[in-house]
Amino acid sequence: MDFRLTAEQELFKQTVREFAEKHIAPRAREIDQKGAGIPDEIIRGMADLGIFGVTVPEEYGGAGVPGEELVYGMLVVHEIARAELSMSLPVYLLLVLGWAHLIAKHGTPELKREVLPRVAKGEWFLGIATTEPSGGSDLANIRTQGKRAGDTYILNGEKIYISGVNEAKQRGGGHVTLFKTAPELGNQGMTFAYVPLASPGITTAKLGMMGRNGLSTGIITYENVAVPAKYVLASENRGFYAAMEGFNAARVLVCAACTGGAERALELSSEYVKQRKLFNTPLAKFEGISFEIAEDYAQLEMIKTQILKTAWMIDRERAQPGSFARSEINANVAICKLIAPPLGVAITQHAMMYHGAMGYTTETPLEMLLRGLLSYVVGAEGGLNVMKIIIAREFIGDVAIPYK
């Protein structure tokens, strides 16, 4: 057993940190305020470092280290999130890395050749479209249908709260999308496929969001959209399970984004309470403050270890199938997603409190970070109660599932 990163992982992490501190951190506020998306030069710089290719195999133009893809993904998302505190760029990155990771495993060779090299070069965006107006937590009841017609599926339906609708339109790429192909079979009648956003029959609309303003979120409507069968992941009617596998990787990366932001907030707290003097005393000397920072630091270190372990489990399972039961991975991922986003929010709120009124202004990046992190508390990549259901099922057993 070894809890240390390898020398290569450490070096990569350090390189990404230096790039992010120099080229990304100074532009976080601009990314949040302008709503004009992520600046091209930032995407290009990240692509030059190989960041978009860490979950893509070398034969498809990536830099993925076999058996370490998700650990590398987690490291880069954490580093980018430390720098880009609006959370727009970390979310952009984690979506691309997470869903490329699934395509690399379950995509057809044609799909991999078409999408992965462009994703690894930073050219295309890749996202996920499962949520519908009928409820994101209850995926078995989605309405979007894909009727088979020869070697295509004709898609009709609507997805909502989908990240990256504008980015996929402007940069190219699309979303891996869940739809019903045999509605009478419930979970076992769903198919998961890559759908280019430029497909004829797709319309989009942007929604106004509280945070993450450098990344669009919106609605995708499908009207008789022809999706070639070569874009299907896994196989017809196995889509629900492929999507769940993808969510595991994506959720680990979400949590890395939360810990990256929280770590920076904690550093800002520590710097501020050392220099802010009240009653002729630095705030850091008051235990009401230093103890809370100590508790936050302790909890952050614990969840970082849990996230690293979970990324390692997923990597190990891919390299050596059968290493872990699927339910064990599901539960470990759910533990990460249950704890990391609310902890990130709590640490950020504490940081705002230490800064007093200044913490409420746009002079610090804290309010922007709070808005970004809250997306993962309200539901993005899975509601917190859904995580509790997954953990309860693992620990108590199927009797803990509140529905059939």
Ligand X SMILES: Cc1cc2nc3c(=O)[nH]c(=O)nc-3n(C[C@H](O)[C@H](O)[C@H](O)COP(=O)(O)OP(=O)(O)OC[C@H]3O[C@@H](n4cnc5c(N)ncnc54)[C@H](O)[C@@H]3O)c2cc1C
Helix or strand run (H / E) with residue 176: strand 173-180
Give the nearest distance from C-beta 280 to ligand X in angstroms: 45
Give the nearest distance from C-beta 345 to ligand X in angstroms: 14
Residue 144 vs 259, nearer CB to ligand X? 144
Residue 220 vs 300, nearer CB to ligand X? 220
Residues that bind ligand X (CB under 6 A): 127-131, 135-137, 161-163, 209, 212, 217, 375, 378-380, 382-386, 389, 402
Letter string b/e over residues 1-15, b meaning 16 or more CB atoms within 10 A of that residue's CB: eeeebeeeeeebbee
Question: Between the CA of residue 381 and those of 102, 124, 312, 333, 384, what are the distances in Å?
Answer: 15, 21, 20, 11, 9
Residue 317 vs 381, nearer CB to ligand X? 381
DSSP-assigned states of every residue in 106-168: HS-HHHHHHHHHHHHTT-SEEEEE---TT-SS-GGG---EEEEETTEEEEEEEEEEEETHHHH
Q: How far apart are CA 49 and CA 297, in angstroms?
A: 30
Residue 52 vs 272, nearer CB to ligand X? 52
Residue 346 vs 386, nearer CB to ligand X? 386
Give the nearest distance from C-beta 180 to ligand X in angstroms: 15
Residue 61 vs 379, nearer CB to ligand X? 379
Q: Give the tokens for residue 310.
A: 């979970």
Give the nearest distance from C-beta 236 to ligand X in angstroms: 20
Q: How far apart are CA 122 and CA 369, in angstroms?
A: 24
Length of the chain measured in residues: 404
Q: Give the tokens for residue 222.
A: 């499908």
Residue 342 vs 379, nearer CB to ligand X? 379
Q: Which amino acid is at 158?
A: E
Give the nearest distance from C-beta 210 to ligand X in angstroms: 8
Q: Give the tokens for residue 230.
A: 């070569």
Residue 86 vs 269, nearer CB to ligand X? 86
Give the nearest distance from C-beta 88 to ligand X in angstroms: 10
Residue 325 per-residue DSSP state: -
Alpha carbons within 13 angstroms on the beta-carbon side of residue 308 total: 15
Give the nearest distance from C-beta 129 to ligand X in angstroms: 5
Give the nearest distance from C-beta 214 to ligand X in angstroms: 12
Residues 6+ apart with CB under 8 A from 125: 92, 95, 96, 164, 167, 168, 171, 172, 173, 174
